[in-house]
Structure 1
Amino acid sequence: MPRPEALARRAVAAALDEAGARGAVTVLLADDAAVKRLNGRHRAKAKPTNVLSFPAEVPGYLGDVALALGVVRREARGARRRAADHLAHLVAHGALHLAGHDHLHAGEARRMERAEARVMRRLGRPNPWKGVT
């Protein structure tokens, strides 16, 4: 995967711009074991997940996004997508959560998916929802 740090910075910037949000975001690109620990501690789930978002309650700081790079690579391979595209999508997804988006209800999910598609278009990456049923 080419320079994930630079791609993550661009994805955060595009997602915050899309959401009209301003503030700092920290992105942790970690191994699966680190994200498994975070997922266990904060969500009581004993497995790694692709992305976690942790909103902050500090003015000017939106929060943290953590990604399990092994999970990201496996999911991309399983979906026959480039790992860099999947990484960009998940970083954008996490940043949109920090900017106030959610997907608990159908209407929210559709709005968030459309926002993610627009972010990916800004990044010159494929729509992650195209062809998904």
Structure 2
Amino acid sequence: VAMAAVAASNTATKAIAASQTALNAIAGSTTALDALYAKKSRLTGASTAKSGKFIILEISANSAFDTSQYGYATLSDGSKPNWQDYKSKYAYFKQFKKIATYIKNDTEGDDWIDYFPCG
């Protein structure tokens, strides 16, 4: 219940995005991740992109990673880690525990990225 309230609060999600301690705690809690997933957004459409602050929750199974041609995410530290092995629910965020500042979908129209906007 408390995490659902946090997920619904713009102020709280901004604070989460600014705190590595909070990001680590969320990555370690399926309950917290489930609360965020209940409020998720989905990036769809071939080569669509979005800038902001996001927690990546899931990447479609057939989504190809390639920073020059296909889909990718830029994390808050500027890295663009390969998502090939981290497409299952919560796997990418649990592995990297960072806010994404940019996400780009694969070139296939049926691929998607589920994310939670942070403020």
Q: Same fold (TM over 0.5)?
A: no
Greater per-residue strand proportion: 2
Comparing both chains, which one has the higher relative contact order based on Cα–Cα distances under 8 Å and sequence gaps of 6 or more? 2
Q: When the two structures are superposed, what TM-score results if normalisation uses the length of structure 2?
A: 0.29
Q: When the two structures are superposed, what TM-score results if normalisation uses the length of structure 1?
A: 0.27
Greater per-residue helix proportion: 1
Name the larger-Rg structure.
Answer: 1
